[in-house]
Amino acid sequence: MVMESSNDDVLHIVMFPFFAFGHISPFVQLANKLSSHGVHVSFFTACGNASRVESMLNSTASTTHIVPLTLPQVEGLPPGAESTAELTPLTAELLKVALDLMQPQIRTLLSHLKPHFVLFDFAQEWLPKMADELGIKTVFYSVFVALSTAFLTCPARVPQPKNYPTLEDMKKPPPGFPHTSITSVKTFEGRDFLYIFKSFHGGPTVYDRVLSGLKGCSAILAKTCSQMEGPYIEYVKSQFNKPVFLVGPVVPDPPSGELEERWATWLNKFEAGTVIYCSFGSETFLNDDQIKELALGLEQIAFPFFLVLNFPANVDVAADLNRTLPEGFMERVKDKGIIHSGWVHQQHILAHSSVGCYVCHAGFSSVIEALVNDCQVVMLPQKGDQFLNAKLVSGDMKAGVEVNRRDEDGYFGKHDIKEAVEMVMVEVDKQPGKLIRANQKKWKQFLLNKDIQCKFIEDLVNEMTAMAKVSSN
């Protein structure tokens, strides 16, 4: 049921993330925080995602209501596929086509709900104009770190419209970029960044969508803080010349329930802080060579490990594991390693006392989960913003280590995995391992300081309330 706000004094926000759980999850986490401060949230998502979103809401998020959306039929988009998790990367591009076709539906809902604000995502660049016509303010909520916006999607990146940069351009920061540890990226990373300048199915590029949304919105909301990203936040402010609200890193609430018994029993066998947990999320997949080198690297390390390997939909997981893992690997590591494919409760695993290191794809939410659970962070980014997250954490924050990769193609070997993990797990009295561990503790204290984290939300609510009152006068 769609609910209309009846009290103008209560801040009413529509949240409208893109149909990918890497985007939906940060919106839900923010909805949980805002709801605890009495903000009324109407959460837009596709019908097929509604039950999962419902399960992610806190029991205290009583002021958040899910508004299910109907996706239009799009040729090539399988019926019932309503998030990127169910699609290949190429087919997932059709979700943007569907989104663009939903404008009449969204206009009708907004006209009825009459919220103070719409918090929208990168793909809905048409929303600011629509909302403005309805007298509604818009906030572009970037689920990426400010470094990503500063490096990739600011106006300085493409000074002349449609004159998109070359590979060599993308390896360097844009003009005016602040002087920090990030001075360049590798060739394989720059090549990956060129994706944002590609058009699929005749639609706008990611860069054009993002830039249009950032330019058209009333304010920008960033999932970060000045303590972590001060120079990049100031650069974004100078590029767009509009309010930039900061919600902080949005530390997830402690998980409810308990860890699955079979995993708890296995983890309980090992000493505190000795297990390496390795996972790359549900939508990041390593290729065969990467899996082999990763597995061999973990085997060479003296510590036990818990390796989660996921594969694209409609793949025979058992056959893929047999094909990709080194011959005899499972037998050799049976006493110190687990290899699993499928869902696990990551927060519970990271919180287990025996887990001391997290090898991950550098998704920023995953990095935050590791830091608050006192796990050392070893990053093996695979795409997009993950490359910049890894540079922020290893370079500016000095709170983790990035696996060394070859410049041209991103190749890494077993020795690169071993070297990165041992830097923070074995060489704890040497530089840079000693410095990284010290910084990890510093950031953990910052992230777990409830007064600091709560103030981010309080300030955001106050800033948005003030903006809403100004617009209503």
Same domain, 69 and 207: yes
The span from the CA of 146 to the CA of 97, in Å, is 27
Per the CB < 8 A criterion, the answer to whether 124 and 100 are in contact is no
The answer to whether residue 364 is domain-embedded is yes
Residue 144, Cα to own-chain centre: how many angstroms? 6
Same domain, 147 and 161: yes
Per the CB < 8 A criterion, the answer to whether 407 and 187 are in contact is yes
Same domain, 209 and 179: yes
Same domain, 66 and 214: yes
pLDDT, residue 7, reads: 54
Same domain, 322 and 416: yes
Q: Which of the four pLDDT bands, split at 50, 70 and 90, describes residue 472?
A: low
In the chain, what is the straight-line distance between the N-terminal and C-terminal CA atoms, in Å? 30
pLDDT, residue 6, reads: 43
Same domain, 74 and 87: yes
Edge-to-edge, what's the strand order for the sheet holding 305-308?
337-340, 305-308, 275-278, 355-360, 376-379, 401-402
The answer to whether residue 256 is domain-embedded is no
pLDDT, residue 320, reads: 76
Same domain, 302 and 246: no
More confident residue, 441 or 2: 441
The answer to whether residue 6 is domain-embedded is no
Same domain, 461 and 372: no
Is cis: bond before 326, omega within 30 of 0? no
The answer to whether residue 292 is domain-embedded is yes
Same domain, 460 and 434: no
The span from the CA of 174 to the CA of 169, in Å, is 8
Same domain, 188 and 201: yes
Q: Which of 180, 19, 178 is nearest to 96 (CA)?
A: 19
The answer to whether residue 1 is domain-embedded is no
Same domain, 441 and 455: no
* Beta-bridge partners for 219: 139
The residue length of the chain stands at 473
The answer to whether residue 402 is domain-embedded is yes
pLDDT, residue 281, reads: 83
The answer to whether residue 425 is domain-embedded is yes
346-375: pLDDT as tens digits? 999 999 999 999 999 999 999 999 999 999
Percent of the chain having pLDDT more than 70?
97
- 84 by Cβ neighbours in 10 Å (0-12 / 13-18 / 19+) ranks as buried
The answer to whether residue 7 is domain-embedded is no
Token pair, residue 372, equals 């608050």
Q: Is 108 helix (H, G, I), strand (E, B) or coil?
A: helix
Could you list the residue range(s) of the whole structural domain that residue 276 is in? 261-447
Number of domains in the chain: 2
Region 259-265 average pLDDT: 95
The span from the CA of 188 to the CA of 406, in Å, is 8
Per the CB < 8 A criterion, the answer to whether 399 and 374 are in contact is no
Percent of the chain having pLDDT more than 90?
83
Query: What's the CATH code of the domain at 173?
Result: 3.40.50.2000
Which CA distances in Å does 310 have to 307, 411, 455? 10, 20, 37
3-32: pLDDT as tens digits? 444 456 799 999 999 999 999 999 999 999
78-111: pLDDT as tens digits? 988 999 988 888 899 999 999 999 999 999 999 9
Q: Which of the four pLDDT bands, split at 50, 70 and 90, describes residue 198?
A: very high
* Beta-bridge partners for 137: 117
Same domain, 324 and 404: yes
DSSP state of 392: I
Q: Is 227 helix (H, G, I), strand (E, B) or coil?
A: helix
